[in-house]
Amino acid sequence: MKKILSLVSIALLCSCAFNVNAPDGTPGKDGENAKPIISQEAIKASMEYLTSDELGGRETGSEGLEKAAVFIEEYLKSNGIKPYFKTYRDSFKLKDIDAYNIVGVVEGNDPKLKNEYVILGGHYDHIGIGKVVEGDSIANGANDDASGTIAAMEFGAYFAKTKTNKRSILITLYDAEEKGLKGSAHLAARLKNEGINAYSMINFEMIGVPRASTEAMAYMSGYERSNFAETLNRYAGEEVVGFFPGAKKMNLFMRSDNFPFFKELNMPAHAISTFDFTNFDYYHHVYDEADKMDYVHMANFMNKMIPALEGMMNAPTKEVVLNDE
């Protein structure tokens, strides 16, 4: 009975992703000009489950990570996002450990462009148990990277509902990032072997806290490697994604789940983050908890990204291109 109740609770958590507002974010009048926006409440509900102590820090191979995978699968299913493979799971082995990415697809609405894929993702695993602080040993991984996981899930739900994407979208949640990008590497190689017509990839990595008001809302790793940020900002109508010198200094482009897609598929693939190593003290720490996340910021970021993503996904040609080295 407890298991049944748990699955019912998960389904309820997964089923309400949006408020319906007008384009400027104000409530629509009698539905006129109304469109869905991603709500703080939906983000917080997913965050509180994925970072609960019940999931034990979501280490690869753990019971907690399995619970996270089930939650994500139920979310995708309840929001009309279909499995890309036979099931949502892209399974692989880490020695004797069973691991799995979760992969859903939102088909594009254009007869030709739907054969091109935009990949959105984030890693849903974390480190499990961390250094004990005041009796707490569970590293719940809210900013790293439940925040990015939820962003990818919410974007998938948005486009599945609105059907405003001409190109198809893969919603990809990676296992074993903390083990050395193993999940994204497996999926990128599999997609390459299957001959996917992939256009571009965005990995959402730690978007749970805001940057200083003097900085761009977010930054993109490998900024200078393509015109991706420029293109997104043009469709957003403002600089949502900026340049962060520290990203190059710390080689962040090669340290997150975007890199295997760049390497395998030779396409623009970047990580977008709002964590810049000055605005959050709890990286790989037991205090990386749901109550430390800024839900106003997260909802604002996701909703500003929607027109940017729509513009890029719906352009008649592949505007985002790699720059010459």
**With contact defined as beta carbons under 8 Å apart, do 175 and 84 qualify?**
no
b/e map of 185-204 (b: 16 or more CB within 10 Å)? bbbbbbbbeeebebbbbbbb
Domain 2-314 has CATH 3.40.630.10: yes
Of all helices (H) and strands (E), which one includes residue 116?
none
Beta bridge partners of residue 219, listed in sequence order: 242, 273
Residues contacting residue 24 through CB under 8 Å, at least 6 positions apart: none
At position 30, the amino acid (one-letter code) is D
pTM of the model: 0.93
3-class secondary-structure state, position 9: helix
**With contact defined as beta carbons under 8 Å apart, do 258 and 227 qualify?**
no
Q: What is the pLDDT along the chain (325 residues), one digit of tens a residue?
A: 334 335 445 555 565 566 644 334 444 444 445 778 999 999 999 999 999 999 999 999 999 999 999 999 999 999 999 999 999 999 999 999 999 999 999 999 999 999 999 999 999 999 999 999 999 999 999 999 999 999 999 999 999 999 999 999 999 999 999 999 999 999 999 999 999 999 999 999 999 999 999 999 999 999 999 999 999 999 999 999 999 999 999 999 999 999 999 999 999 999 999 999 999 999 999 999 999 999 999 999 999 999 999 999 999 999 999 998 6
Residue 264 to residue 193: CA distance in whole angstroms? 10
